[in-house]
Structure 1
């Protein structure tokens, strides 16, 4: 079980690149929570908080393919410097708006959030596109799984950091801290990428130069699976935030999210060391089942709800999250043409952020008018749709299928 991880640790520069990529992305998990508290406190509405949060993620998604295409064609360092600086300015502005504008001006915050999202540094795309350049075979699947597990650690550290800052300082402090972390992490990742010799893009085959990646049905289906997966996960995040805020204990949101993430990390690390081909649809289905188990333990079905019971369900259900994400990432990387993987993961960013933009207002409306159980039900429905789609995603061609030779 540990062999792929030992091989991974021996690859020059890989561990440094992976760790800096996590530092450069952890703000992505804390910012939505901080922004939700900021806007909900400003406007008094979860639905409007969802709209502003959805605008941020929509901006991130719209620009994803463009940034990925740019990274495939030119040195990454320039792109990281420009986007990192602009993103930091945008986050600073978002923190100021509730102080200088009345709550009725929330559309200004939505516009600012969208523009900020457009400038999000493409650390995720560049990281995932670099793995096939550094490792092959079972080790490549292991690194995707480790990354998915560390990504779940981001869902522990980021929201917990934001929740604690909200509870003991203010939502403004929390969102500004996320902005500082974004800029610092982007710079660290930039230097790690240079040390690994991956700043320059790889040459792409002429046969793939003029084709749109969206002409590949298998790749499109895998992107849609990513959309439904994120719809599931961000809806549960919103449920946890709303439940904790209504309880009058905002720090509980960070604690429960951390419990959920710990389960995911453990599931990812165990599965990542096993051999055998990943069962893509099964992993997505298990994730949906874990979310479905939340429905009966949330209001209005169970009132009052127990934090211990909700935490137990999250811990067990979380075991399936990282394996599902890892399988989806590996499938996208395997189906993408050589020399265009950053663009493919840019489209994946668009797909996942579109999922957030769709799910956040929906979950917010259900929380305002029905309750947390209904919002968890919508998250389950998205996961079930993803399971059906995953059944139709083809395996990569034999020459790149080695990326999926472990569990």
Structure 2
């Protein structure tokens, strides 16, 4: 008997490809996409997956901003739970942030500790960011050569003592060091002086917390980052942009040749300050969720191409830290858990605004893949990894925190009606199932 030419053939009347939405058959061999042809061609496969009429085939999403927290704070989150949540949300690749774990990923030795914990627990593919903190400039090249995708730094207090923030001179020194080997700096951009001058009022009123993290803190820090990137020629990326007032700064910097990219997050695109209930600390994040007008302008920034990618900044914590009995925003841990829900959250709002699904997928798959240099990810195209998601864009559900896979069932989306469900996720052509089959990724090799 002649062997089938493909291990798997996926037939879809709707698939989002680099050439737009098409009716296709996708051939998969040895985990790679080996054919993308018009539906009806009749590709043969050892297995055949035919999508239902209400389903769309998507490239697996790439989430380049995930706090897994293992080891050290594994009670907050861990590789097994985070990657299960990712798969349930159509995410087939995550890149883990270097902080909130103990030790932080600020040296090659610490990176190895992280990898040892991840290797047998990953249900999707996992890469790693390194950390740039005071005193570790000499470690950056070694971390780069060890395969991290770039380096995260804070310009203000990170919230954890083991991951210090960079002063202006340290930022420039590290950026200059990165130019020597082509490294990328990703930046939590809030200005410490502005934060110190802002009113600090504890309590259950979200307005007081919002006033403590003013938009000016972001715009001031982004302006300083732009100046440093311009002076050094380094490549820089603004993390979790919440301040739409910074968009003109970003536009001007790019027009001037500054190598700058920008991300925002589902919570900034779907939640607004006007509707955060008193004491609802699940909504707390830094920088904060701002007003509706600001949200509208972030969406315009995406349409205009000033914001490049949408990633979750999944940053969970235990319920006692995230939702203290006091409901005090000053006391609660800052971070939104949304890894499993990111696609549905963004698509629900995009659909309401008339934004096509193709744009959402580009911002959440091809865009992050390009940001970190994952050339085999982010598209349904020959030569790419067969990382795929079967998505029903018209199906609806109500968010039940108890049914989420991340470790602590706390989310500001609890009880929210969302549109779009992921019915199946494939990693290199195989269903993500009950056994971890993800691999650890290195910069330049995936």
TM-score, normalization: structure 1? 0.28
Which structure's residues are more often strand, by fraction?
2
* Bigger RCO (CA 8 Å, 6+ sep): 1
Answer with 1 or 2: which has the greater Rg. Answer: 2
Which structure's residues are more often helix, by fraction?
1
TM-score, normalization: structure 2? 0.26
